[in-house]
Amino acid sequence: MPETVDLHGAWTAFCDRLKDGADVVLDPDLPINEVDRAEGLRALLRRLSSEVSRDLEGGGTSHPELAWIHPFKNGQDNPDGLYQIASLDLSRTYRLSGTVGSVRYLGITAMTTDFSAGAIEQFLTLNGDELPTDANGRFSIAFGAGPAPEPAVGEAPDGAWFELPPRHCSLLVRQFFSDWEDEVPADLHLECIDPGPSTSRLQPHELAPHLTRIADQVVEMTAFWTRFGASHLTREEVNAFDHVQSTQGSASDLGGSLDQGYGQTWYRVGEGEALLLEVEIPNCAYWEIQLGDVWYQSLDWWNRQSSLNGDQAVTSDDGVFRAVIAHHDPGVSNWLDTTGSTQGCITYRWNQADRQPIPTCRLVPLATLDDHLDERWHRITAEQRTSALRVRRRAALRRFRR
């Protein structure tokens, strides 16, 4: 006989577990304001949407759908990114195929994603330059516990085979756009070899575990990044990167790309203050600097200039990127807009860089800002800013077909 499941009880348990997330973001001991708390509830809803899409609607491990999620607000997500994720059971065999496009960076990683289980494990890491492409940019690779698959009828053999441990994990694809207007995204297709029949309707005993996993991930992921951000304050890592020892792949146990060096710190900027950031840009495939909020989410980057990359920023003749972090437009091209957030995180990424420079920061009174800016700080008019933001928004939404 079919297993009897108390669906009402399962749904009640799901809703009760989500309430634990509110206890995280509305904790009265957190040094945040009411807007931050509202954004915390918004973070919970975003993660709920993300987890439902990935866990419940993602096709499972036998019929995976490599879908993108907008907005993907998790772990200081990259404003230049198009993130795609699918569930894998590496005891099966998978094929990933398509075209690499012209996107500045394409990263493919098979990895665990449950921070509550400990450090993230990465089983496969590739970038677009490492894929076996033909003259038209097409590729096909296969991976799993084995054996290697035979090519489908009428198809060429897979360009590469990767034998991996038989673990449950996720396939995460990062596409980073530096020229938002003109770069063409990779067109990717993921399939399980010999998947068996699809499950089109969920049985009660199949739905209940989904509800448990989704709620746990929403709460635990939010709690993890809340603690991670608060740890900057505990260690007094505020308005300075002096603590950073940046190395390529140093954030891999947090799910970071092996191709990138990362650095993070906490910013605190009052209404009458500005934070001046300077760093010499390395030779690299791609770079970016961004602001995030107290929940380790990127700020609004489609309507506001809260991030800049190598194509968007103005670099001085001496090779230095100089930016002003402030609540109001200082008339400087490299303005990083806090969008009203008085505190949060700053993150930089150097992708496949020849070195790992660490930025310096200076907090100055806004009233004396001009005294600290010389001809190396490129100026911009209000009309130019309006035009730049219009172009930015259109290009950002185009990436997501919105």
Strand partners, 84: 68, 173
Residue 226, pLDDT > 90, answer: yes
What pLDDT sits at residue 199? Answer: 79
Confidence tier at 365 by pLDDT (50, 70, 90): very high
pLDDT confidence band for 157 (50 / 70 / 90): low
What is the reported pLDDT for 2? 60
Structure tokens at 167: 């673990």
3-class DSSP assignment, residue 27: coil
pLDDT tens by residue, 3-59: 788 999 999 999 999 999 999 999 999 999 999 999 999 999 999 999 999 888 888
Average pLDDT value for residue range 273-295: 98
The model's pLDDT over 80-114, given as tens digits with 9 standing for 90+, comes to: 999 999 999 999 999 999 999 999 999 999 999 88
| Residue that is written with structure tokens 């001991």 in the block | 29
pLDDT in tens, 289-315: 999 999 999 999 999 999 999 999 999
**H or E segment and range at residue 323:** strand 320-326
Torsion-angle region of residue 67: left (phi > 0), alpha (psi -120 to 50) or beta?
beta
| Residue 343: pLDDT over 90 | yes
Please report the pLDDT score of residue 253 as a whole number.
81
For residue 114, what pLDDT is reported? 81
Average confidence (pLDDT) over 171-176:
96
Mean pLDDT in the chain?
Answer: 93
Q: Given a cut of 70, is residue 155 above it in pLDDT?
A: no
* pLDDT at res. 350: 97
Q: Is 318 exposed, middle or buried (0-12, 13-18, 19+ CB in 10 A)?
A: exposed
Burial of 148 (0-12, 13-18, 19+ CB in 10 A): middle
Cis amide leading into 149 (omega within 30): no
d(CA 401, CA 214): 27
Find the mean pLDDT for residues 313-329.
97
For the entire predicted model, the pTM comes to: 0.93
**Which domains, and CATH codes, for the chain?**
1-60+208-224 (no CATH), 61-192 (2.60.120), 238-399 (2.60.120.1600)
Q: Give the percent of the chain with pLDDT over 90.
A: 83
Pairing of strands 343-351, 286-292: antiparallel
pLDDT at position 245 over 90: no
